[in-house]
Chain A
Amino acid sequence: MALLEIREVTKRFGGLIALSGFKLEVQQGEILGLIGPNGSGKTTTFNVITGFLKPDGGKVIFEGEDITGLQPYAIAKKGVIRTFQLANLFFDLTVLDNVLIGFHNLSKITMLDELLNTRSRRKEKKELLGRAMEILQLTELDSHKEKLAKNLSAGWRKTLAIAVALAANPKLLLLDEPVCTLSPARVASIINLIMKVRDSGVTVMLIEHNMRAIMDYCDRIAVLNFGKKIADGSPERVKRNREVIDAYLGM
């Protein structure tokens, strides 16, 4: 069974059809790239999966369960975690605090524990701090941990967005343009991070414009054009697909 199944999803914005009968399956443990020209419906797909938009038709099935139309927080709780194209963060907080807030749903302590500052509360705080440090090390953000998120460069912001998403304990991680507009060194390091995340058992689905990054590292690629899927397969096959070349690659 596929981890995530998008069944015939349609989404309209007034007269504009952003997605029409879009079908896609995401398998456990793969890195799936979703590409397509501007306005082809990539981000809309993410918004529909994560509940930020309600589809006009079709279903989203995660781990065999219909999650269509649930609130974004409820979908996140099930393990579908996304990042945003513009690397949205808690800008006025430190890098460390950003990651700590990401743990929100992992906490087992109650309001009473919080009010009385019980031992289990302090123990959990300590544990979470340790895990936050692990994530910061994995993402190479540890030397920036006291900085405010707004003072980070674009590349580190995107890295931090991934770190926050990792803290939220994803089963499926949706990355919206994780390496777009970044310097080659940062791109390499983020791709390396994505591979590590996948190896730790998290399924990754990503949107990207940076074709080279996509081609080399994705297990599978789906191509969208005007809200329709026009190709789906291994990078080599997609690269040779006539329709894809016409619509997107233009080479």
Chain B
Amino acid sequence: MKPLYRFLSFFLLIIFLILLPQLITKDYYIHMLVMAGIYSMLAQSLGLIIGFTGQVSLCHAAFYGIGAYISALLALNFGLPFWITFWFGGIGAGVVAYLFGCLVLKLKGHFLAITTALFGIMVTLILDNWTELTKGPMGLPGIPNPSPIQLPGVKLQFASRTEYYYLILVFVLLMAFVIYRIIHSQIGEAMIAIRENEEVAQSIGINTMRFKLAAFSIGSGFAGVAGSFYAHYILFISPISFTLPESINILVMMIFGGMQTFVGPIVGAITLTFLPEFLRMTGALRLTLYGLALMLLIIFLPSGIVGAIKEKWFSQYEKS
């Protein structure tokens, strides 16, 4: 009965997500949904690194930016379509993460956090100052839309936000599938072992460096793909979108939803994309209230929304 129940609720969720744009009349809210999709990718990929492998990375926005810039530069300079550039964006960000990870993943805890934060700042500085390539703070305008694709029955032009919504939906679902499979595999088991106790993990033969690198490169690679999508959606990028505060924003989304759970980061990303909008009715106090809400949640629900629900369910289960 249980797998059937699961399958059914998943099926209904997909139907709901497909019909969602029909229920929304305001174009702006569709835009918010697309952004929620991008942040879902960022938060969940960061969840693989921090939530499951326990390696604190404060430079996720840097890989998001690396993906966006690689993609935008390839599109602008070589006229490559999005369907090719997003691969380069993702793989490029993954390769940079791998090389950087070889240097820093020996570090633990605070040291790793500070080093990755500094790396994030360094990437922003490079984007800001390598003006021949990146045009610096002026940013890169005129990035092309994804070229139209013909699917059986429909032709996607990428002229309306709704089409972008469906594209990001496919991206999020594919990434979620890959991450789900990873965390429920031997690889995910090894990653969790590293998070729980690196020494014991080594003592039973887990090559901890290898799995830390895998988590870091795969997670950062997905951030790069999200960056590519962002570049070809907003059609303009500048270094300001990929700074340390953005990394922290992604981090907060992940913690808010529940970083040690599979769906948590996505729930966090969606909630925190929309929450500031709903707080608009409070006027000038908006960001203060937003900050306060975040602090209270982290104090009272340290394992996040989904984490807290799971814990509750688990403790009931243990009592019975």
Do A and B interact? yes
Residues of A within 8 A of B (CB): 50, 52, 71-74, 76-77, 81-84, 88-93, 100-102, 104-105, 107, 109, 111, 114-115, 117, 146-147, 164-165, 167-168
- Tell me the minimal C-beta distance from B10 to chain A in angstroms: 15
Q: Does B202 contact A (CB under 8 A)?
A: yes
Contact check, A89 vs B197: say whether CB atoms are below 8 A apart: yes
Given contacts A76-B203, A76-B205, contact A100 B185 (CB under 8 A): no
Given contacts A101-B189, A104-B189, A114-B186, contact A76 B202 (CB under 8 A): yes
Q: Does B192 contact A (CB under 8 A)?
A: yes
Contact check, A93 vs B192: say whether CB atoms are below 8 A apart: yes
In the A-B complex, the 8 residue pairs with the closest CB atoms = A76-B205, A114-B185, A90-B196, A72-B202, A168-B204, A105-B205, A77-B205, A73-B207
Of the listed residues B182, B196, B201, the one surrounded by the most CB atoms of chain A closer than 10 A to its CB is B196
Of the listed residues B178, B189, B204, B318, the one surrounded by the most CB atoms of chain A closer than 10 A to its CB is B204
* 26 A-B contacts (beta carbon < 8 Å): A52-B199, A72-B202, A73-B205, A73-B207, A73-B208, A76-B203, A81-B203, A88-B199, A89-B197, A90-B192, A90-B193, A91-B196, A92-B196, A93-B192, A101-B189, A101-B193, A104-B186, A104-B193, A104-B206, A105-B205, A111-B185, A117-B181, A164-B200, A164-B204, A165-B203, A168-B205
Contact partners of A164 in chain B: CB under 8 A: 200, 204
Report how far A222 CA is from B39 CA in the complex, Å.
Answer: 60
Report how far A168 CA is from B204 CA in the complex, Å.
Answer: 6
Q: Does B190 contact A (CB under 8 A)?
A: yes
Contact partners of A104 in chain B: CB under 8 A: 186, 189-190, 193, 204-206
Q: Does B176 contact A (CB under 8 A)?
A: no
Contact partners of A82 in chain B: CB under 8 A: 203
Report how far A181 CA is from B207 CA in the complex, Å.
Answer: 32
How does the 8 Å CB contact mask read for B48-81 relative to A, with 1 for contact and 0 for none? 0000000000000000000000000000000000
- Tell me the minimal C-beta distance from A50 to chain B in angstroms: 7
- Tell me the minimal C-beta distance from A172 to chain B in angstroms: 13
Residues of B within 8 A of A (CB): 178, 181-182, 185-187, 189-190, 192-193, 196-197, 199-208, 318
Report how far A92 CA is from B187 CA in the complex, Å.
Answer: 18
Contact check, B202 vs A90: say whether CB atoms are below 8 A apart: no
- Tell me the minimal C-beta distance from B259 to chain A in angstroms: 13
Contact partners of A81 in chain B: CB under 8 A: 203-205
Of B178, B200, B206, which one neighbours A84 at CB under 8 angstroms? B200
Given contacts A84-B199, A93-B192, contact A102 B204 (CB under 8 A): yes
Known: A100-B189, A101-B204, A105-B206. 12 other contacts (CB 8 A): A73-B202, A73-B206, A84-B199, A91-B196, A101-B193, A104-B204, A109-B186, A111-B185, A114-B182, A115-B178, A165-B203, A165-B204
Report how far A82 CA is from B193 CA in the complex, Å.
Answer: 16
Report how far A168 CA is from B181 CA in the complex, Å.
Answer: 23
Contact partners of A73 in chain B: CB under 8 A: 202, 205-208
Report how far A146 CA is from B186 CA in the complex, Å.
Answer: 20
Of B185, B192, B203, which one neighbours A50 at CB under 8 angstroms? B203
Report how far A111 CA is from B203 CA in the complex, Å.
Answer: 23
Contact partners of A109 in chain B: CB under 8 A: 186
Report how far A50 CA is from B204 CA in the complex, Å.
Answer: 10
- Tell me the minimal C-beta distance from A104 to chain B in angstroms: 5
Contact check, B181 vs A114: say whether CB atoms are below 8 A apart: yes
Contact partners of B187 in chain A: CB under 8 A: 111, 114
Report how far A107 CA is from B197 CA in the complex, Å.
Answer: 21
Contact partners of B181 in chain A: CB under 8 A: 114-115, 117
Contact partners of B192 in chain A: CB under 8 A: 90, 93, 101
Residue of A nearest to B189 (CB): A101
Residue of A nearest to B193 (CB): A101
Given contacts A90-B197, A92-B196, A101-B189, contact A84 B203 (CB under 8 A): yes
Contact check, A72 vs B197: say whether CB atoms are below 8 A apart: no
Of A83, A107, A168, which one neighbours B186 at CB under 8 angstroms? A107
Given contacts A109-B186, A114-B186, A115-B178, contact A76 B204 (CB under 8 A): yes
Report how far A100 CA is from B182 CA in the complex, Å.
Answer: 16
Contact partners of B207 in chain A: CB under 8 A: 71, 73-74
- Tell me the minimal C-beta distance from B198 to chain A in angstroms: 10
Contact partners of B182 in chain A: CB under 8 A: 114
Of the listed residues B197, B199, B200, B203, the one surrounded by the most CB atoms of chain A closer than 10 A to its CB is B203
Residue of A nearest to B317 (CB): A146
- Tell me the minimal C-beta distance from B201 to chain A in angstroms: 8
Residue of A nearest to B318 (CB): A146
Contact partners of B196 in chain A: CB under 8 A: 90-93
Contact partners of B201 in chain A: CB under 8 A: 101
Contact partners of A74 in chain B: CB under 8 A: 207
Contact partners of A83 in chain B: CB under 8 A: 203
Contact partners of A50 in chain B: CB under 8 A: 203
Contact check, A167 vs B204: say whether CB atoms are below 8 A apart: yes
Of A89, A105, A147, which one neighbours B200 at CB under 8 angstroms? A89
- Tell me the minimal C-beta distance from B144 to chain A in angstroms: 32
Report how far A93 CA is from B192 CA in the complex, Å.
Answer: 9
Report how far A111 CA is from B123 CA in the complex, Å.
Answer: 32
Report how far A82 CA is from B201 CA in the complex, Å.
Answer: 11
Contact partners of B204 in chain A: CB under 8 A: 76, 81, 101-102, 104-105, 164-165, 167-168
